[in-house]
Structure formats: structure tokens, C-alpha cells
Structure 1
């Protein structure tokens, strides 16, 4: 096994097989996520649930590979190729026909749907990586098989990135599925060829040599593997949730934490030991500087903060996976190692995706996993001052204890200053606590304690206190916080750190519309004309509830129906101790819980005179609500002469071409009302209350649009009060459908760097 012959027969074959299998494995994940979008929506929790399914299937595949490894290679090859052929019965990739979930059951239904849709295929493909490494090692000349795991994760990273960048923009889902099926066929042939190349090989544990005599790793060592694998996996998911909840809803953000997670394996399991050591050395400092912000919940951040969080996840993952690689066993225990490692991935995923949303009212899993990383990281001292001063261990411990006393005082000062909103002095004490953390890196208990103090001092105490007020709830779809601002006479609803609703608390203005919904907005202009457009008994449908602000546009005699996907949001809006829009203006209006597209499709045709689509959550696009099939469902639900109104305000996407292309395809008329930004508000009492917004109105006839808008104005007049202008056209833009839709053509690349609104 020590004679490493780089020209060993068929080495290239195993590398190619692993690359192709891993590429297909991580190409199918976003592809299936895109397929289920019309049925699930795009909440971060949906992706976390999907990741949990993928990790569970990966664990199953690794367990199967571990079991299969006891046989001779020829039997392993025969069984595995047979399994791949049977799994091909689930091809081409498609979505199983399951009844939609009951409200509140999404966390269980999503995994069930994915298991039924791609479970056998994903299971079979996931097993090939450890099997190929085991078959590779059956030839004594092949050398260490663990480096192939780096190739495996490189293929996974390529598959993941290529989907949004190359595959999705270039072809519809049906074509994607058939091409993936062709790739699967190539993989089956490569696996069969790899099996043939080692046909006479025995089970690896039967090979001769010193390494084969290594005893089975102890339970303690296996538990260490489990934890070293669990923390980076959980941190990958918690970083996704933390970024989308509390920093910025950047498009395709979920790709970045997962991609960096995969790249961390590429570095850790390669021969780049020096690079891994560099990451391990700087990881504690990075945890202090970035992880110290992990309990902060009171304000959003810039893309720079988001990238810092991603950098921390990557550096910590490389350090932990590098330590895992350092603790790898001999080849005959290879599949056991990968089995335990995969179990750790599932454990981290279970904690971050399933248990945490049930246990916590905020994303506490993120700071907890940061602390867990601090407990597991190798901690090489950056400044070995005790060695420089030639201090005895007892003296060094005494100095460390004194430093921790200073750290505790600094933490207390930071909490007091933070509660007093004196952020400049908070930073000063924070720097002191950071320096202390650097000095005690060589003492794990002190380092972890310093990190926890830094978290508490930088907004953490505020975050913890909020959990005891009853003003914050967490659901499958997000974290919602209700906060009073007495000085401004306001009560605000935040989704993470994104404003989701606002009500004035001064009595004269209590029921006035706020944020995106003022009388000068597109929806305000339309609902104010509801009686003129459809008579005193106008029927109005509203998709997206928020705090219930729009309900106070309702007039006596009008029939309203509200659609809301999140039961927690409905409870907040209905609770008069939080917001009174619903209780005072629309207490008898039905609120239909569930995905709006599915719920509206169940209704008889011709239900609404006006249908308002306001389903955005921060800047995340409900893509499944903007396709041709979705607009067709809305059109069916509208009465003749009905008005469809869609809210498209967004910092990252220009959605005008989507709707202008759709209107042109249907022969409809369309206009957009681009409301003034908050800085343009002239009434002093509206400053900080009204928010700029873009609303698109679509009608089946130009006459109806004329009634609503009073005539369109040129685009250059778009900021004038009450003005509707034509939608922007983009020649050659491809119509969005359930089968084809890409967000890259409408991405505002220049907006990716900047402050939150």
C-alpha cells in the first residue's frame, strides 16, 4: 500500500467515475428544488428540509456501501450495478403526485415528497463515492484513496454551481431531466467499468500489509468523527438561515453556504496540508471577529457582513474537516469512517433544519453551532505569550483567570452600553474583549467563554431578552418580531430584520395604511377605485397578509378573501394586542391558510373583481407565483373586466420584463405605478411610515386599464403622484413558465453590494 504508482492501471477511471457521480448528485438537488417550486414556494426552510432529505439519503447510501464492502469486489460490482439499474425506473426525474400538506405540516411533507420523487436514484448514486474509493484501494499500487474524496466534492461543487449559472438559464425542466438521465446512463457504464477493473480484487480488509492490521476505531474516536462532521453541516444550514433572516435576502444565497461547505472538503482531503494548517491557525480569530456577532438580531447588514459570515463558515469548515482528515483510519475502515461522517452530517442537519425551528423562537442554532465549533477546533496559540515569558503552567492559568475577570467586566459594560444604544463605546469594549479572546486561545475553556461573552455584549443580551417578551414567534417560514417604538408612535412587524408591517399607535392615524400600501401606491390607487370599477359589492382577493394593513381599504358591502401561507402570520394579524387592522376593519373576512396558487386554483372561476398578489418575503421571489401557469390561475379567478395587481418591489430583481412579456403573450394591457421613495414623501407625518413601491396592474382590455389609470403617462413622469406608466419591454425575453424560468436575466448585478433599506 506504500508503493504509490501514479500510473497504476485505470486510476483515471476512478477519478472520472467519482467526478461524474458527484456532479450528477449535486446537479439534481437544485433541479428537483426548481421542479417542486410551484408546490412548495421558495422559503429558506424549504431548502433546509430538502438538504436534510439529501443528507439522510447520503447516510443511507454510505451505510449500504459499508455493508457491501464485506464482499469481494466482483460481488460488490454486480450488486451495485443491479441497484443502479433498478433505480433507473424512477427516471426521468419528476415529482411524485402527493396531496398537498395541511397547514403546519410542511416540515414533514417536504421530505416525504422528495423521498418519493428521487429517493431511490439519489440513494444509489450517493453510494458510489465510498464504493469507488474502496474499489480503488483494492489495487495495492493505487495509493491512498482518501484524496478521491476531494475529487468527489470538487464534482459536487461543479454540479451545484453549474445549475443556476448554466443549466437553468439554457433549457426547460423537461430537457434538464432527460439530459440528467443520459448522464446517469454514462455513470452506470463508468461504475461497471470500474468494477471490471478490480474484478479480481478481494474485500479491502482482506488485503495484506501493516495497515490492514489496524484495530477497529474506538467508540470515542467514532464519536469525535461524528461531532467534527456534524458541526460544519449544521453551520452550513444555520448560516443560510441566519443570512436570509438577519442580514440580507440575496438571490441564490443558499448556493453559497453549500458550495463553500463542499469546497472545504476539497481542501481538507487533498494534499494541500499547508493551506489547511493556515485555515486552522486563523479559524479561532475568525470565530471571535465574525462569530461574535452571531447573537445580533436588531439590525441588518451589508453584503460585506454576509460575505464575512460565509468566510467564517468556510474557514471553520476547512479547519474541522482538516482535523477529521487527520483522524482518518486505515483503508479497511474507510467505509465506516464515511458512514460515521455522513451520520454527523445528518445530525447537524436534523438540529439546524428540524429541531431548531421547533425549539427556538429565533435562529439560536447559529450561535450555538459557532460555540460548538470553538469547542472542537484545534486551538494553536496565535500569541504563545506564556512560552515567550517562560511562565509556569500555574502562573499562566492565574493570568488567564485574571484576563477572564476583565473580560466579564467588559461584557457587562457592553451590555449596559448596548441597551443604552451607545454603540461607539460598545465597539471600544468589544475590541478589548476580542484581544483577550486572542490571548487565551491556548486555553479552550477561556476561549469559548470569551466568545460567548462577545456574543452577549454585541446585541446578544437584547436578543435573549426579546425571547421572554412573547413578541417574537418562529414558524416554518421565518422569524417574526413585533416591536413598539413609542417615540415614533409606531408598532412594527419584522420578518427577521425586514420590515413586514407597520401601524401607527396615535389614535387619529391608527387605521391609516402604511409602508408599501399608502393611498398614493399602486394598490392604494386601485382599492380606492374598487367601487367605481366594480360597484358597491366589489369582490377582492388578497394574497399575502402581513400585519393586515390593506384590510382597512375594505368598504361596507365589499366581499374580501385573504390568502396567507403561514398560520403564524395570521395569528399575529388577528391579535388586536399586536395589530388592529384586521380586528377593526375586516374581522369577518375569511383568511385562507395555504399556498395561494393552490388555494385559488380550487375556487370556482370568476370570483374576484380585483386580485392583489403581494406574496414577497423580503427580496425572495415567489417564482412559482409569477409563471404563465400561475397567471393563468389568477385569470381564471377574475371576473370579466377584473384587475390583477402584482407587487414587484425588489432590490435585486427587475421583474418588469417578466410581467410585460406575460401581458404581451396574453394580449393583455399592463401598467406600472412606481411610487415615490421615502425620501420623496412631502408630508412630515408620513416620513418613516410610507415606503417606495412598484405595483403592476394587468387587465384583459385596454378600456379597463384606462378606467383604472385615467391614461398612461410617459416613463419620465413615473415619479409624479398617482401616475401610471407603461411597463418596460425587453425584446427577446423568454416567458416564464413552470418548465422554464431563470432569475439571472432579471438580476440587478449592481445592487448586490450595498446597504439594506
Structure 2
């Protein structure tokens, strides 16, 4: 009876121990991935709301993840359990001094810094040590668990870790962002991190009582434990981890550049990436080569066609589904093959270290190397093709090796090898067509350049009569090249649109006019300038300034005085003395991508500070997917201003695009003047949303 009670007590203690490990790993993964969109959203306003901010954030996360895995591998291999425990407890205690995570206003960029280095430096100050410890938790605790539970395979804890990461990502846009302000979210995260420190500290304390060396001697007699992992296998682990990371970042960049740099479009690809890890390492045989390899090849062909022919002009949902599904298929392929080649638990930290190394190399390639090597988003099609070739090669070599070791060469094996050969042929054919298409696609543009903020291109019409400025796939301005028409405003800036009307309505004969423009584009707004007028453009992207001056003549043709303030427009306006603008045009949006920080209540306070009494603030709200009118109207009502809507119809004969604007003034008479009377109407709202502030904004409340 006593033996049964003792055995029951032992089982109960083991269950508690397993639960403690599981809870700590789950919580660490949850916090690890929830903090990513939190920090990204904090940094966006300081760098123009650019989608490239998220790519740089991902690079930081991947590099720190590698350092965390390296720390886990090093301590597990070279330190005794007692030394490991003491070191980890010290680091856990030190990380509490970083809390709560926040941005210091003294760290704001001036506009001259390298954005990538600045973002990495800020993230290191904000979240460096806590993120490092959270990153190391998965492999480190799995190694501790394997040491304590001899004979137990800990890879399902890796699936549990990814499940926690998945919930952390999903909870941010669905639960936290719509209901809490950024300070509240930061406080909740910090409180949960303290709970993690306590749980992890308990497990580290247990290591102080262990006398065994850090190397897992419990596995010494098991098959595979003493086998040396060949360098080729480690290189394969790195490659299979790097390819999906590059695709994750490239696809996220492609979507956010043309839709919106918001956490949902950061979170969705990352969720699919993590889901593939969960399914492949859970052990339920979710990955089947015969399904995913053909699906990937089909997607590869469709994706290549889309990138070259831009079928995503038809709307947001088609490219969103296309690229998200393709990313998931590619991740299942690479992570499925990675799971098939996972080593004995004795080599667990080496395996995770190589996965982290692949992720860091992939992230560095996209965030640092690709913008300097390529003049367009070539890393996406090239990596997709390389992924197909890598997986086909891996599977074919495995099949060939199996055939050599087999005494029978049955029909099923011959069919399998023939199927792989056919798949390789399809990938090769797509590669040829993709190469030809990339060359042909580049020939459409007279000039194509790229930097941190994306790809900028200029394209001339077939007869050379018109030149366009394109950011990614979004038109940012155009100009007629003939002498008699090149000073005419085009696209969204015609005299029937909000920007042109604001300038004309505030113009007084014989009096100089001061005009501010947030977003330079091709410099089209300068075409309204007269002798004695002053035009001040706010632009964050140095390439835009360079192209506006070298490829277009709006800035050089205007008789007005023109100045350009470099850096994020809002930060520049915050630092400047009141400019007393007669008209201020806010049009820094890239297609459907909106810098949220330019639409908050605090942003409008900055705009109004620079307006002359009776001046007009013109805000561009054209968007296929988002209803921006309620956001602007909330700010207008809060500051007790007057607002009117301008819906401009396209006039293709004059090169004018359809557009929607809201004109704002402190004087209702200005908005009802003769110059505007036939063009404006009352702003009628179709929905009621919470006001946007620097601490709260939610894209999901304004989706059309």
C-alpha cells in the first residue's frame, strides 16, 4: 500500500514537473511573438510608417533568436547545471530593469540616420535582453527537460512552443489592439513577463541541485546519440530554415507595401509560418511530400506570372490569398523536410542553432543585402525558385540513396523517382520563363532604383509624351513631357481635386502664398507655384527627392521658392516653428498603405499649429479597402474645425485621376466660398469608430 502511495506521489511530481516545463515554454513563446507587433507599432511613427520597418524588425528578431539559441547551445555544452542555473537566474533578474517596454522621446531620429541601424539600436535598448532570454527558453528548457526525463523525446515541446507563438500573434490584432491602448498593452505584456521570469527562475533553481555535467549523458547509450552530425547535414538544416524565412519577409514586404503597414498583414504571414512548424513537428504526419511539392510548383508558376503581370491590380483579397497560401505551402515543404531530418535529442541544441542561423541569414539577406543588390523585389521570385530546386534535390537524393540500399527496385520506387524528375523539369521550365519575364519586366521602366523604403521606378509612355513615377506598383505622380503641357498638374493634384482646390481657394491676388505638402512624389504640387510663393515639401525617402529633381521638371519649372524637409513629416513639423501655411496638403500615403501616425488626433494638432487662420488642410483619403473619413472627422470634431468632402471624378484627357479628399478649416466661410462651392459636400459617416490617438488605432474598425 505504501509502495502504491509512493509511486502515485512520484507520478504526481512528474506531472507537476512536466506542467511547469510546458507552461514556461508556452508563456515564453507567447510573449516572444506578441511583443513583435507591439514594438513594430511603436516604431512605425518614427520612420514614416514604412513597410520596411517590419522587415528590419524581423531581422532584429531573427538575429537575437540566433543569439538566444547560441546561448542555449553554449551553456548546455560547456557549463555544469549549477553554473547554468546561476547564470540564467542572474540574466532573468537583470532583464526586469528594462521593463516596461517603451520608447524614450529623446531617441527620436532627426532624419539623417540610417533607418535600419537606428531601428536595430532602438529595439536593442527597448527589448534586447528580455527578447534574448525569451528566445533562448525553447531550446534551453527542452534540453533541461531531456536531461531530467531520460529517454523522453522533447520535440513536441517545440510544437507547443510554436503554438504559444501562434496564440501570441493572433491575440494582438484580435484582442489587444482593438481594445487596449499601447501603454496598456505594454503594461500587460510586462506583467506577464514577470510571471515568466518567476517560472523560468524556478526551473533554473532546480539546476543548482544537479550534479551531472551539462552534456546529456543519459542518452549516451541510445542509438544516434554518439553519431557525429556531418557538416552537409548542418548546412541542409540552415538552407531549409533560410528559404522560408526569406519568403516570409519578402511576401510580407510585397503585401504591406501595396496594402497597409499594419500588424494584421505582419501577423498573418508569420502565423502561417509558425503553423507549419507546429504541424511538421507535432508528430501527426501532417506533412506529405506528394501533396505539397505539386502544390508548390503550381503556386510557383502563378506567383511568377503575378509578379510580372501584376494581376493584384484587381484588389487586395486575390494577392492576399495567393501569397499567403503560397507561403504556407513553401513553409510546409521546408519545415516538413527539416522535421524528417531532426537529429537525436543529444544534438537538440545544435539542431535549433542551425535553424536560428538559417533564419538570421535569411533575414539579413532580405533586410540588408537585397536592397543593395537588387533594384526591385527580386528576392521573392528567386528564393521561391531556389526553394523548389532545393526540396526536389533533397527528396531525389534521399530516393536515390534508398534505392541503392534496397535489394528490390520495385515499381513504386521507379514511379517515385520519375515523379521527382517530372517535378524538377517543371521547376526548371518555370525558372526559364521567370528569368525571361524578369528581364522583360525591367525593360518597361526607364529607371529603377531601390533603398530602405522600397523600389522607385520611372516609366515613359510608348510615344515619350508622359513620364510616370512608380513606388512598387503604386503611381506617385506623372508629367507630360512637351513644353506646352509639362507645367500642368496631373493625377490626384488637378484643379478639380482637394489639393488643387485648397491652393486655389486660399490664393489672394497680389499676395504671396505659403503651401506645405506632406509627400513630394514627382513634385506635381509645385506646378501651382507663382513668383513670390513658398512651397515646403516634407519627404522621408531621399530617392524620391533625387528622382523628382532629375527625372521631372515640376520643381525646376516653378517660379515659387521651393524647400524640402527630409525625414518623417510629422517629426519635422513637430520640431519646426509655426509655418503659417495658407494650405497644407497631407498625401504621404503609398496607394492603400497608410502611415497611421499621420492620422491620429495628435497629428492633427501638429497640422493645425502650422496653419494660418482661414487656411485649409487637405487630407487625401482615397482608399480601396479602408474608410478613412471617420478617422479624420473625429479629429476635426475634437478640435472644433469645419470639414467638407471633395470627390473628384477622373479626367483622362487631362491626365487626372479620381480621388477623395477632406478639406478642413477653422472658418466655415472659406469652405463655402465661390471657389469651392460646386465641389464640396458635407462629410457623411457610415460608421462610428473610436477616435485614433497615438496610443490607440485599429485598422479593422475602418475596413470597407
TM-score, shorter chain, exceeding 0.5: yes
Out of 153, 160, 184, the position equivalent to 2:162 is 153
Q: How does 1:48-87 map to 2 (within 5 A)?
A: 48-70=55-77, 71-87=79-95
Q: Is the 8 A contact 1:137 1:204 kept in 2?
A: no
Out of 474, 477, 497, which is 1:501 matched to? 477
**In the alignment, which residue of structure 2 is the partner of 1:546?**
521
- C-alpha deviation, 1:10, in angstroms: 2.6
Distance change in 2, residues 1:14/1:535 (3 Å)? farther
1:167-188 per-position Cα deviation (integer Å, ceiling 9, x unaligned): 1110111111111111111112
1:460 is the counterpart of 2:438: yes
Q: Report the 3-state secondary structure (helix = DSSP H, G, I; strand = E; otherwise coil) of the residue aligned with 1:737.
A: coil
1:745 is the counterpart of 2:701:
yes
Q: What's the Cα RMSD here?
A: 2.7
Q: CA deviation at 1:587?
A: 7.5
How many angstroms apart in 1 are the aligned matches of 2:46 and 2:664? 24
Distance 1:11 1:142, change over 3 A: farther
Is 2:123 the partner of 1:114?
yes
Structure 1 residue matching 2:535: 3-state secondary structure = strand
- Among 667, 670, 679, the alignment partner of 1:723 is 679
Q: Distance in 2 between matches of 1:501 and 1:618?
A: 11
Shift in alpha-carbon separation, 1:709–1:190, aligned structure 2, 3 A: farther
Partner residue of 2:584? 611
Per-residue Cα deviation, 1:521-551 (whole angstroms, up to 9, x for no partner): 111112122323x962111111111111111
Post-superposition shift, 1:447? 4.8
1:511-522 alignment, distance < 5 Å? 511-522=487-498
Matched residue, 1:39:
46
How far 1:78 sits from its partner (Å)? 3.5
Aligned counterpart for 2:144 among listed residues 126, 135, 147: 135
Q: Name the CA shift for 1:292/1:524 in 2 (closer, same or farther; >3 Å).
A: closer
Counterpart residue number, 1:221: 233
Q: CA deviation at 1:604?
A: 1.2
Aligned counterparts of 1:86 and 1:674: Cα–Cα separation in 2: 56
1:133–1:709: structure 2 CA closer, same or farther, 3 Å change rule?
farther
Q: Which runs of 5+ in 1 are unaligned?
A: 385-437, 712-721, 749-757
Say whether the 8 Å CA contact 1:103–1:567 is kept in structure 2. no
Counterpart CA distance in 2 for 1:213 and 1:685 is 75
Secondary structure (helix, strand or coil) at the match of 1:545 reads coil
CA distance in 2, matches of 1:653, 1:709: 29
Q: Say which of 486, 509, 517 aligns to 1:510.
A: 486
Distance 1:529 1:292, change over 3 A: closer
Task: Give the conservation status (yes or no) of the 8 Å contact 1:52–1:346.
Answer: yes
Q: Which moved more, 1:164-173 or 1:693-702?
A: 693-702
- Call closer, same or farther: CA 1:52–1:641 in 2, change over 3 Å: same
Quote the residue 2:466 is aligned against: 490
Go from structure 1 to structure 2 and tell me whether the alpha carbon gap of 1:692 and 1:439 turns closer, same or farther (over 3 Å shift). Answer: farther
Residue by residue over 1:279-336, the C-alpha shift from the partner in whole angstroms, topping out at 9 and shown as x without a partner, is 5443553354334437516664443244222212211111111111222121121111
Q: Could you tell me whether the CA contact under 8 Å between 2:534 and 2:560 is conserved in 1? A: no
State the alpha-carbon separation in 1 of the partners of residues 640 and 163 from structure 2: 47
Question: What is the rounded CA distance, in whole Å, between the counterparts of 2:595 and 2:662 in structure 1?
Answer: 16
In 1, the alpha carbon distance for the partners of 2:612 and 2:304 equals 55
Distance (Å, rounded) in 1 between the aligned partners of 2:350 and 2:559: 60
- Which secondary structure does the structure 1 equivalent of 2:377 belong to? coil
The 1:597/1:250 distance shift into structure 2, 3 A limit, reads: closer
Aligned pairs (5 A) from 1:520-599: 520-532=496-508, 536-575=511-550, 578-585=551-558, 588-599=561-572
Task: Indicate if the aligned counterparts of 1:299 and 1:497 stay in contact, CA closer than 8 A.
Answer: no
Rounded Cα–Cα distance in structure 2 between residues aligned with 1:212 and 1:488? 68
| 1:210 Cα deviation from its structure 2 partner | 1.2
Question: Secondary structure of the equivalent of 2:562?
Answer: coil
Aligned equivalent of 2:96: 88
| Separation in structure 1 between the aligned mates of residue 448 and residue 614 of structure 2, nearest angstrom | 42
Segment of structure 1 superposing worse, 700-709 or 654-663:
700-709
Change (3 A) 1:573 1:179: same
Q: More deviation in 727-736 or 641-650?
A: 727-736
Distance 1:521 1:280 in 2: 50
Q: Distance in 2 between matches of 1:733 and 1:312?
A: 34
Task: Give distance in 2, aligned partners of 1:301 and 1:230.
Answer: 30
Contact 1:295 1:456 in 2 (8 A): no
Structure 1 residue corresponding to 2:618, chosen from 640, 645, 664: 645
TM (norm. structure 1) is: 0.82
Alignment of 1:372 with 2:386, yes or no, is yes
TM-score, normalised to structure 2's length? 0.88
Q: Following TM superposition, where does structure 1 have runs of at least 4 consecutive aligned residues deviating by more than 6 angstroms?
A: none
1:586-636 per-position Cα deviation (integer Å, ceiling 9, x unaligned): 585111211111111221124322111110011111111111221111122
Mind listing any 5+ residue stretches in structure 2 that lack a counterpart? 1-10, 400-416
